[in-house]
Chains A and B, each alone.
Chain A
Amino acid sequence: MRPILLQGHERSVTQIKYNREGDLLFSVAKDTVVNVWYSVNGERLGTYNGHTGAVWCVDVDWDTKNVLTGSADNSCRLWDCETGKQLALLKTSSAVRTCGFDFSGNIIMFSTDKQMGYQCFLNYFDLRDPQQIEDNQPYMTLPCSESKITSAVWGPLGEFVIAGHENGEINQFSAKSGEVLKTAKEHTKQINDMQSSVDLTMVISASKDNTAKLFDATSLDHIKTFKTERPVNSAAISPIMDHVVMGGGQEAMEVTTTSTRIGKFEARFFHAAFEDEFGRIKGHFGPINCVAFHPDGKSYSSGGEDGYTRIHYFDPHYFEFEFEG
């Protein structure tokens, strides 16, 4: 099947997210636009209007009721998924880099960048207490003095947040006490993206050190490493196969002006157990910034620096592929 091309952004796509059932795909970009699409045919459902700066992150709760976005306009916003109405505007002192709903959908977390004299903070709001939203007072805010958080996901039961930092560290921050429960120091450079497996038992981290690593979400044991020669911008775990997909690119400064590689930026597929690459899908005109598997594992999407989001449905060949041995 030919890939579906979603043209809804004028600048690079920063994150894409499927909802739990997979029928919707959300995309956010540097052009301040937040789009939602039907993943089955690529038809755009609508946009969530309000942000005035680049939107860095997006999440949708398990019930597809609320949408959460974080932006460089120093705000984290809550939206009604169906109507597009803005439900809450949480102002911050610096750009919101990563955000997410916990398993129950009741608690939201987001991190702010280290900018303009302000430190990096990890903020927790409980949506069941409207006062917190009204007063813009998180029930807990954790300063991150050493290395700022660059990407984070919730743990399997909402007890902690698993955060990736600029220095390559991964920490579990308790959502109750705020203390660091576990640490993993496996990466040597900035973590660009963290994603969970669909059952939340594992997390995969994509790093500037040219690798992606698989960890157990609860113990933070390092399980696998996937090596490439380029910085990895995003990685995702297949819900049904022992596969991971990775997307990356080169530093903007290093892209030569004479490069004639049109449509050659590739998403790369690795076998999760063997750590070996087995396939690539071309198509983007620039580095890939984010990848995501559809929850049923039969397709995946990628958002690129070129502003396009591509949805690929796998052909039967993909499911039959086996390594010798």
Chain B
Amino acid sequence: MRDTEDMEADAEFEEGEEPSFSDPEDFEDDTSDQELLEDILKERPQEADGIDSVIVVDNVPEVGPERLEKLKNVVHKIFSKFGKITNEFYPEEEGKTKGYIFLEYSSPAHALEAVKNADGYKLDKQHTFRVNVFTDFDKYMTISDEWETPEKQPFKDFGNLRHWMEEPDCHDQYSVIFEAGERTGIFSNDAKEAIIVEERARWTETYVRWSPKGTYLATFHQRGIALWGGEKFKQIQRFSHQGVQLIDFSPCERYVVTFSPLMDTKEDPQAIIIWDVLTGQKKRGFHCESSAHWPIFKWSHDGKFFARMTQDTLSIYEVPSMGLLDKKSLKITGIKDFSWSPGDNVIAFWVPEDKDIPGRVTLMQLPSRQEIRVRNLFNVVDCKLHWQKNGDYLCVKVDRTPKGTQGLVTNFEIFRMREKQVPVDVVEMKEGIIAFAWEPNGSKFAVLHGESPRINASFYHVKNNGKIELIKMFDKQQANSIFWSPQGQFLVLAGLRSMNGALAFVDTSDCTMMNIVEHYMASDVEWDPTGRFLVTSVSWWSHKVDNAFWLWTFQGRLLQKNNKDRFCQLLWRPRPITLLDPEQTKLIKKDLKKYSKIFEQKDRLSQSKASKELVDKRHTMMEDYHKYRELAMQMHQEQRPLRLDLRGGVDTDELDSNVDDWEEETIEFFINEEIIPIGDLA
């Protein structure tokens, strides 16, 4: 046996002894678990995980032990749809369940699904589940008890947003973009000349839009849109949406919808955003595959609903929740197009033929979803829906290829919305349709049909007795668009762009052509909101010269020609709906003669005042010019000797100064040509 001292001294192994593999006594292991067991550690249950997967369900029936098993089964059946339930806890008190339970899933994602879908689940009449993630309780409980009053925002007074309506001479406003977009101006429409109200450089980066009731002017910028209004067109609101291209307002002006192709991500839909105009808040975002048919979301006339169509689906949302009506979309296989009635909460949509099932047009009442009318369409190729402005009529333009033929036949199916059971009348059209338009507020419609150069304009009246009468047809028209006056009765048939701006003004009360005029290369036509004036314009965006907008009366009499350097766009400011009730309107119409007299007098006064101003101005200009000419002639006279000298004494100041120098010449004039065949001379 050796002494320990001996062992320490030995540096070498001795024969037969095993070397020691133990760590030295003061060794500290600094290799972490992470390095050694990384893959295993990943699966280590974490405290946080557990809590994130737990949901709390409230309003669970309070049951005794005899019904507990059944309750657990029902709950399990409902909640296992969202994922694997790994744990459940039914707290009890005095022999009964407390009315709330805890369920744990295998992952937090399942818990979230459960919350999303089961919250609000109606178990029975007295019990509607409320589901929350457990961690939310924590979150809400740790809210500070200290209430800090939010900082008071100073009141931004934008003044009277309807200020322009108070203009004493009832001049409507319109926006003009010119200098290729560099300048935007707002003008007041006086029949004699455009009066500038506000003009700014770079007010918008692309174009502008008015809100439907005329309260706001929306401008476009790289970072979003801005709304301007009030007397001085101050900035009222701003919406940040990078790369915004298109916008749409709800009819009540409460919401604005913006579209940008840039912003969409899978998790966070940002292509289409709906904003609350008054608060500036973002209400909801949506995906959007293509903006080809803008607006993607179509609003009901009262602004209560908005809807969009996707593959086989019609999704209807309600305000202010921005959620789906009845929490689900409508499945409509093959839906091709839809549109809201402008007068009621009714949607019209159509689906094409599907094997044995014929195509059909359906009218659906909302929010009840009741189908108030269905109309079958046989061999249909395409449909277009045209509503009359008040929703009194719907015209469905149906293109069909009848069985056994190759050609396309077009019918107009007119739905009479105000009559019981919505009867439908059919008008057959023999030629291809170029344009169709309902009379606003009326029961007439105009159609352009045929093929260039033989284009015809037909006017129809939808009568009360069930008949649709062709009132008149004008043939050989140079027109590709129809523009009705917003008040009805009058319209303009226009041949825009390639048809060189031919314009025909028609009074449809007796279908007479009031005036046929031309605005060469006109690209756009805009009626003012009252139907008194019409603007035709040549936009720089479609034609690079002669950019101007012309003002006409509703009868086709030219009032003004306004040339604007690189003029792009003119838009009338819409008017809000009248505040007068039908009784008051009737009264004013009755007294129209009296008002006419007053207005005529006013016009005559201002006319003569303008004439007088012009006369005075011209008088001054003439006087000044003649004064200048006198001085110039004086100097000219003084220089006479110099002139005579330069021309060797020959006086050339007047054409007849040198009569001696004149020569007489005989000149022949070509008068007439007569061809006489030689035979006749004999």
Contact = CB atoms under 8 A, between A and B. Distances in A.
A253 to B, nearest CB: 9
Nearest to A229: B563
A189 B413 CA distance: 59
Nearest to A325: B615
B628 to A, nearest CB: 6
Interface in A276-325: 295-296, 323-325
B319 interface: no
B615 A324 contact: yes
Given A22-B655, A156-B639, A273-B625, A250 B545 contact: yes
A135 interface: no
Interface residues of A, number: 41
Interface string B530-572: 0000000000000111111000000000000001000000000
Nearest to B547: A229
Contacts of B547: 229
Contacts of B650: 63
B374 interface: no
B622 A216 contact: no
A225 to B, nearest CB: 12
A325 B625 CA distance: 15
A157 B644 CA distance: 10
Nearest to B624: A273
B500 interface: yes
A274 B618 contact: yes
A273 B624 CA distance: 8
Given A38-B667, A324-B611, A273 B647 contact: no
A158 B646 contact: yes
Interface string B655-671: 10000000000011110
Interface in B139-176: none
Contacts of A261: 520
A260 B500 contact: yes
Contact of B646 (A104, A199, A224): A104
Given A103-B643, A273-B621, A325-B615, A41 B500 contact: no
Interface string B13-43: 0000000000000000000000000000000
A116 to B, nearest CB: 31
A256 B632 CA distance: 45
A272 interface: yes
B193 to A, nearest CB: 14
Contacts of B633: 199, 201
A223 B632 CA distance: 12
A22 B546 CA distance: 35
B652 A62 contact: yes
Contacts of B655: 21-22, 295-296
Interface in A248-270: 250-251, 254, 256, 258, 260-261
B283 interface: no
B184 to A, nearest CB: 20
B642 interface: yes
A44 interface: no
A20 interface: yes
Nearest to A23: B665
B84 interface: no
Interface in B629-653: 632-633, 635-636, 639, 642-643, 646-647, 650, 652-653
A230 B652 contact: no
B545 A229 contact: yes
Given A41-B668, A324-B611, A104 B647 contact: yes
A157 B615 contact: no
Which of B543, B619, B633, B639: most chain A Cβ within 10 A?
B639
A233 B546 CA distance: 16
Contacts of B611: 324-325
Contacts of B647: 62-63, 103-105
A157 B545 contact: no
A278 to B, nearest CB: 12
B643 A272 contact: no
Contacts of B471: none
A273 B622 contact: yes
A223 to B, nearest CB: 6
A122 B362 CA distance: 81
B614 interface: yes
B545 A230 contact: yes
A279 to B, nearest CB: 15
A218 interface: yes
A43 B545 CA distance: 37
A157 B642 contact: yes
B498 interface: yes
A323 B624 CA distance: 17
Contact of A216 (B614, B632, B653, B669): B632
Given A41-B669, A156-B636, A273-B626, 19 more contacts: A21-B655, A22-B655, A38-B667, A62-B652, A63-B647, A104-B646, A104-B647, A156-B639, A218-B635, A223-B625, A229-B563, A256-B543, A258-B498, A272-B625, A273-B624, A274-B622, A295-B655, A324-B611, A325-B616
27 contacts: A20-B652, A22-B655, A62-B647, A63-B650, A103-B643, A103-B646, A104-B647, A105-B647, A156-B636, A157-B646, A199-B653, A201-B635, A201-B636, A223-B625, A229-B545, A229-B547, A229-B548, A251-B545, A254-B544, A256-B543, A258-B498, A261-B520, A273-B622, A275-B621, A296-B655, A323-B618, A325-B614
